[in-house]
Amino acid sequence: MKLANYLEHHGLGFSEFARRVGINHPRTVERWAKGQRIPAGGMMAKIVAATAGAVQPADFINAAPPVERAQPIRRAA
């Protein structure tokens, strides 16, 4: 489950969740929830614990398929 979905589902704001994981900056939680930043390993473990496993490290990875790039057109000499 994405962190943003977890917060919304449980009616938690960024400040409250920041307190639960032991940080002083709710803006950091906002960045995680919006996918602008990925938490470091130790913090990731705190997030998993604070959400009782509902939010997992893989939930922070964007699973969109890679974009194929067009091959350049080669002109004959």
3-state secondary structure the chain: CCHHHHHHHCCCCHHHHHHHHCCCCHHHHHHHHCCCCCCCHHHHHHHHHHCCCCCCHHHHCCCCCCCCCCCCCCCCC
d(CA 15, CA 10): 14
**How much is the pLDDT for 61?**
86
72: pLDDT strictly greater than 70: no
> Mean pLDDT, the chain, as a whole number?
88
- Could you give all domains of the chain from N- to C-terminal order, each with its CATH number? 3-60 (1.10.260)
**How much is the pLDDT for 66?**
52
**How much is the pLDDT for 67?**
56
Tens digits of per-residue pLDDT, 39-58? 998 999 999 999 999 999 99
**Percent of the chain clearing pLDDT 90 (strictly above):** 75
pTM of the model: 0.77
